Structure 1
Amino acid sequence: MNQIFDYPDLWVEALIGTLVLFFAGGAIALVLGFLVGAMRVSPVPIARAVGTLYVNTIRNTPLTLVLFFFAFAVPLLFPVPRGSFLLLAILGLGIYTATYVAETIRSGINTVPIGQAEAARALGMGFGQVMGYVVLPQAARSVIPPMMSVLIALLKNTTVASGFSVVNLGNIRANMSENGENQMVTILLVMAVFVALVLLLAWLQRTLENKWRVAR
């Protein structure tokens, strides 16, 4: 624990960097993933095709290559302020994770009996009303466990951004090594922090599941 007490600023900065990547990237992933998931089950063929192309292209590309694209290609294509690697990493993580969010939402929607959607359409509801009032409320409960697994994977994937000059828990080992500290101890401490964060997400998952079960 001396490493933490001797270098509190480094640990706090690294933890904040990880949390910023997680929450900001997660927000983008949830919003974009919801839209893409809706496109994947849309009755419009073009929307389904675009959603399928996006998911199959990004999901089958390694995260490192996605971050490489945002770190090196995007600044050449668009006027990006210098030193904005954090923003680019957030966008890369969000866009990459959105594919998994979309597939999770799609699988949850598919658990709802199709007869209920057909009955809602027979009552004159449009696609948006069917999704918002009939399908999604029922799909949400089955989506919670896999969605939390996606968010846990996002939390661990934040360490990949350390290779692109983004400060987070993934690169604190290098900082400690420069200060002559034991790298094995640093790695074990980082593991302990991630275990604690994952346990918090697991607790949130159980809480949401219990709350939804009571609501039913």
Structure 2
Amino acid sequence: MDFAGAYSPDNLAFLMEGFLVTLKIAAISIVLSFLIGGLIGILRYAKIPVVSGVLAVVVETIRNLPLILIIFFVYFGLQDPKIGLEMSISTAAITALTIFESAMLSEVIRGGLNSIPKGQIEASRSSGMSYIQTLWHIILPQALRNMVPPIVSQFISLLKDTSLAVIIALPELTHHGQVIYAQNINYVWPVLILIALMYFVVNYGLSLVARRLEVRKQ
């Protein structure tokens, strides 16, 4: 193992460049999946005829597919230059991660909404509030407090899952690591150790945030 060579200034800068791509892809996917997953979760909770049933089928289908298959499908299946459907590697990765994570988060959000006693809904409605007002002012604020830890856990999973986009050559952390240790077999362990450490630092930080929020909730 050659730690000195693997951790040369150029290699470290190259790894950091890939790590910034990882964080960027993860951040965009997190925001989009939270918005889309939140909307789906609320619509399923509201039990709107037909809409809720269709969304349930879509969500369960996506949740039971491997993420790597979704990445392949988005990048290779949705590309069709003949009709003008083209997307960059980054866009394909964000799209696939958002699709998968939206389905996962929608269940977290729906579960959080269902955790609120039905009596509160009935009390709010009897006091003259509409269903939407009850949902916005009574149910959601309480449900969000219950949902924060599992939502953060999903965000941690999403950050780790960005590494799967290496299969479509996304220039993220894992991809850049492969480029480095392909030059010298003695770089494999040093590079993998550093990559693992970089993922650990960010994910452990997020897990600490989730724990603190859980303590505050109690």
TM-score by length of 1: 0.90
2:56 alignment counterpart: 52
1:203 alignment counterpart: 208
Does 2:199 match 1:194? yes
1:177 alignment counterpart: 181
Structure 1 SS opposite 2:78:
helix
Equivalent of residue 39 in structure 2, options 29, 35, 41? 35
Identity of aligned residues (%): 28
Matched ranges for 1:79-118 at <5 A: 79-81=84-86, 84-118=88-122
Equivalent of residue 156 in structure 1, options 139, 155, 160? 160
Specify whether residues 63 and 132 from structure 1 end up closer, same or farther in structure 2 by C-alpha distance, changes over 3 A only. Answer: same
CA deviation after TM superposition for structure 1 residue 128, in Å: 2.1
Alignment deviations for residues 22-81 of structure 1 (CA, whole Å, 9 cap, x no partner): 101111110000001001111411221122022111111110111111101111286344
Are the equivalent residues in 2 in contact too, given 1:26–1:154 (CA < 8 A)? yes
Are the equivalent residues in 2 in contact too, given 1:37–1:51 (CA < 8 A)? no
Runs of 4+ in 1 over 6 A off after TM superposition: none
Name the CA distance, whole Å, in 2 between partners of 1:89 and 1:210: 34
Name the CA distance, whole Å, in 1 between partners of 2:153 and 2:168: 25
Does 2:68 match 1:64? yes
Specify whether residues 45 and 173 from structure 1 end up closer, same or farther in structure 2 by C-alpha distance, changes over 3 A only. Answer: same
Are the equivalent residues in 2 in contact too, given 1:152–1:198 (CA < 8 A)? yes
1:145 alignment counterpart: 149
CA deviation after TM superposition for structure 1 residue 210, in Å: 5.0
Alignment deviations for residues 180-211 of structure 1 (CA, whole Å, 9 cap, x no partner): 14212211111111110111102222343455
Q: What amino acid does structure 1 have at the position aligned with 2:207?
A: A
Matched ranges for 1:116-131 at <5 A: 116-131=120-135
TM-score by length of 2: 0.89
Specify whether residues 51 and 125 from structure 1 end up closer, same or farther in structure 2 by C-alpha distance, changes over 3 A only. Answer: farther
Are the equivalent residues in 1 in contact too, given 2:153–2:210 (CA < 8 A)? no
Name the CA distance, whole Å, in 1 between partners of 2:166 and 2:158: 14
Alignment deviations for residues 79-117 of structure 1 (CA, whole Å, 9 cap, x no partner): 3446x1101110110110011111111111111101101
Q: What amino acid does structure 2 have at the position aligned with 1:96?
A: F
Name the CA distance, whole Å, in 1 between partners of 2:157 and 2:71: 16
CA deviation after TM superposition for structure 1 residue 212, in Å: 5.0
Paired residues, what number?
A: 212
Name the CA distance, whole Å, in 1 between partners of 2:197 and 2:12: 16
Q: What amino acid does structure 2 have at the position aligned with 1:35?
A: L
Q: What amino acid does structure 2 have at the position aligned with 1:54?
A: V
CA deviation after TM superposition for structure 1 residue 174, in Å: 1.7
1:16 alignment counterpart: 20
Superposition RMSD in Å: 1.9
Name the CA distance, whole Å, in 1 between partners of 2:85 and 2:19: 25
Name the CA distance, whole Å, in 2 between partners of 1:157 and 1:90: 11
Q: What amino acid does structure 2 have at the position aligned with 1:105?
A: I
